[in-house]
């Protein structure tokens, strides 16, 4: 019971933070320029951030992530209680919630939506819900989720995009022989309980949303949310054009401002340049298998070489050169917005002398050669690698840069046919379990295809997935990070914010560290 009260308390606190205190202008239209269009507006079958980051405007989950991305607040559920054995959760649903078309949301919709998301045959995100056994409706406002094993992250998983609640009847009535085909047709005209309802979509041009008149949420002053009448997402892939359109006032906001333009936009009196704390980490992925795919010996199999490579990168200088001081150094392989992150100090502070002596110890006193895959045409990757090339040349590491396009790189990477590549990662859930399962837990995808394996880490991770005691879990994640960071199969470079710019008239937009673009509290002031 103490646990429940604690949860409710943090929930109440979070709601107060989320909603703007000052009265916002109601009405109006906001045009937001995105670098790429969405692909599939179904929360279960989508697989890309272009979908994930905006579906939360159409669909709600039982719980909602807080603005700092670390916790949850009530959504379509108002309370939850875990059984003493941790094997079932009783969830109280919010009453009077309607879908955008006016039909009431029922407990059956909830049961069906959660079971669809947890079905291992559906999509690629069901791994976040493997503990779920079944969902039962026990009262019109209550569902009970039965688990196969205790799951400390269940509530956070119920605040993640893929567990959004959809209208079962409308979905099942969509044309299509299989669930995936139904998802496609349903997602052409998505229907949810979110703050906005879908109006129209011309692929790669524009998507129009309008206020959901039936939305359940009010702001702190008791005013009905959302404020905006309409949102239009327009797709403008070219960075320079997207910014020109914002400067000309043809759009109200634009995402992915290149770091090189951040200072210029900050100085523009008409614009509000925003840098949202994120879970985005940027790093080099190293192949650490004893030999490369061509059979030659891999120097990076030696932990000392990996340590040397890490020490030889001056992260502060790199951040200045590549991100114009927008990013910040990392303390672990996970971002500072990820719960349980180890913050005991910067990872591998720059030390060229130490790097040289480590290389000498490993038998590479005369240096070594490595090749890194780079995305052809990517200004960021070129800047990162030419800077690292310079830094490494000081300690005798000769870096060759091989430019390839994205599908080529992904194919080589998946086949383990690479020495090194530039990578990025963002969390989808407010918990370290996702990033650890990819980076450090080798049975998943060989620790991000590096070939790195630590059996002890695997055991600790498996135990942490069932550990209900928050203190013990924190200790487990500290242990995992310490072991991993000793001689990691990556070079952590920096964590970078989400760069978004708006006209000064736009208020109340939020992008949380998980990336979700939240327009519920956005308004355009006159």
Partner 1 sequence: MPISLRYVVLRLLQIVPTFLLIMVVMFVLVRLLPGDPTSALLGERATDEAVARINAQYGLDKPILVQFGVFLASFFRGDLGDSIVDKTPVLGLILSRLPVTLFLTALAALLSVVMAVPLAFVAALRHGSGTDSAIRAGFQVGLSTPVFYLGILLLTLFAAHLHWFPVGGYGEHFGDKLYHLFLPALTLALSLSAVLMRNLRNSIVEVLEAEYVDFARAKGLKARVVLGKHVLRNAVIPTVTLLGLNIGTLFGGAVITETVFAVPGAGRLMIGAIFGRDYPVILGLTLALALLVSLVFLVTDLVQAALDPRVSA
Binding site for partner 1 (CB under 8 A): 39-40, 47-48, 124, 180, 184, 202-205, 234-238, 240-242, 244-245, 247-248, 250, 404-414, 423, 438, 444-445, 448-449
Least distance between partner 1 and beta carbon 222 (Å):
39
522 vs 26: CA distance, rounded Å: 10
> What does 379-441 look like in DSSP terms, one character per residue?
HHHHHHHHHHHHHHHTTTEEEEEEEE-HHHHHHHHHTT--SEEEEEE--SSSSTHHHHHHHT-
Q: Is 78 or 408 the residue whose CB approaches partner 1 more closely?
A: 408
Q: Is 394 or 406 the residue whose CB approaches partner 1 more closely?
A: 406
181 vs 226: CA distance, rounded Å: 32
Q: Is 411 or 468 the residue whose CB approaches partner 1 more closely?
A: 411
C-alpha distances out from residue 455 to 246, 314, 462, 482, Å: 51, 31, 11, 14
Least distance between partner 1 and beta carbon 201 (Å):
11
Least distance between partner 1 and beta carbon 88 (Å):
29
C-alpha distances out from residue 17 to 20, 225, 347, 520, Å: 8, 15, 32, 14
304 vs 361: CA distance, rounded Å: 8
Q: How many residues does the chain have?
A: 526
Q: Is 124 or 173 the residue whose CB approaches partner 1 more closely?
A: 124
Least distance between partner 1 and beta carbon 406 (Å):
6
CB 85: neighbour CB atoms within 10 A? 9
Least distance between partner 1 and beta carbon 451 (Å):
15
Q: Is 176 or 346 the residue whose CB approaches partner 1 more closely?
A: 176
Least distance between partner 1 and beta carbon 254 (Å):
11
Q: Is 205 or 379 the residue whose CB approaches partner 1 more closely?
A: 205
CB 513 within 8 A of CB 337: yes
360 vs 354: CA distance, rounded Å: 10
- DSSP-derived letter for residue 126 is G
Q: Is 90 or 408 the residue whose CB approaches partner 1 more closely?
A: 408
Going by their DSSP bridges, the two strands 29-34 and 230-235 should be labelled as parallel
237 vs 33: CA distance, rounded Å: 9
CB 83: neighbour CB atoms within 10 A? 13
Least distance between partner 1 and beta carbon 403 (Å):
13
> Residue 13 corresponds to which tokens in the numbers above?
């606190």
Least distance between partner 1 and beta carbon 320 (Å):
27
Q: Is 109 or 434 the residue whose CB approaches partner 1 more closely?
A: 434
Q: Is 5 or 248 the residue whose CB approaches partner 1 more closely?
A: 248
Least distance between partner 1 and beta carbon 120 (Å):
9
Phi/psi at 39 (5° precision): -115, -45
């Amino acid at each position: 019971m103490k646990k429940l009260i604690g949860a409710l308390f943090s929930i109440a606190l979070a709601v107060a933070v989320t909603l703007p205190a000052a009265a916002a202008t109601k009405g109006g239209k906001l045009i937001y320029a995105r670098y790429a269009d969405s692909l599939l507006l179904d929360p279960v079958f989508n697989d890309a951030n272009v979908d994930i980051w905006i579906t939360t405007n159409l669909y709600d989950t039982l719980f909602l992530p807080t603005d700092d991305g670390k916790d949850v607040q009530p959504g379509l559920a108002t309370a939850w209680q875990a059984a003493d054995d941790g094997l079932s959760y009783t969830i109280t649903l919010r009453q009077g919630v309607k879908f955008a078309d006016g039909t009431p949301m029922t407990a059956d919709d909830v049961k069906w939506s959660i079971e669809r998301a947890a079905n291992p045959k559906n999509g690629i995100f069901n791994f976040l819900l493997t503990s779920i056994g079944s969902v039962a409706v026990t009262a019109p406002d209550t569902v009970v989720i039965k688990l196969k094993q205790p799951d400390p992250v269940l509530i956070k998983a119920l605040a993640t995009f893929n567990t959004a609640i959809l209208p079962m009847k409308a979905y099942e009535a969509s044309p299509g022989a299989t669930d995936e085909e139904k998802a496609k047709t349903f997602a052409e005209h998505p229907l949810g309980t979110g703050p906005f309802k879908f109006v129209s979509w011309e692929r790669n041009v524009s998507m129009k949303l309008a206020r959901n008149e039936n939305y359940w949420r009010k702001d702190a002053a008791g005013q009905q949310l959302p404020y905006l009448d309409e949102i239009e997402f327009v797709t403008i892939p070219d960075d320079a054009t997207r910014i020109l359109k914002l400067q000309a006032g043809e759009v109200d906001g634009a995402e992915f401002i290149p770091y090189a333009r951040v200072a210029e936009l900050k100085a523009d009196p008409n614009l509000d340049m925003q840098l949202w704390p994120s879970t985005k980490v940027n790093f080099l992925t190293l192949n650490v298998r004893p030999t490369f795919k061509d059979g030659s010996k891999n120097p990076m199999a030696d932990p000392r070489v990996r340590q040397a490579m890490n020490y030889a990168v001056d992260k502060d200088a790199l951040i200045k050169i590549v991100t114009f001081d927008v990013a910040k150094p990392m303390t672990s392989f996970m971002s500072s917005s990820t719960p349980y992150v180890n913050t005991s100090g910067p990872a591998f502070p720059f030390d060229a002398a130490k790097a040289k002596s480590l290389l000498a110890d490993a038998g590479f006193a005369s240096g070594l050669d490595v090749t890194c895959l780079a995305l052809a045409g990517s200004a960021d990757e070129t800047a990162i690698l030419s800077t690292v090339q310079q830094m490494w040349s000081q300690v005798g590491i000769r870096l060759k840069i091989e430019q390839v396009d994205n599908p080529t790189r992904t194919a080589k990477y998946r086949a383990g046919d690479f020495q090194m590549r530039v990578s990025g990662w963002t969390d989808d859930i407010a918990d370290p379990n996702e990033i650890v399962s990819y980076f450090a837990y080798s049975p998943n995808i060989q620790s991000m295809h590096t070939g790195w394996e630590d059996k002890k880490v695997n055991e600790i991770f498996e135990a942490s997935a069932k550990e209900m005691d928050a203190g013990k879990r924190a200790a487990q994640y500290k242990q995992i990070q310490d072991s991993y960071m000793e001689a990691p199969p990556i070079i952590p470079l920096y964590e970078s914010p989400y760069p978004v710019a708006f006209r000064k008239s736009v208020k109340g937009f939020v992008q949380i560290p998980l990336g979700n673009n939240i327009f519920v509290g956005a308004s355009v002031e006159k």
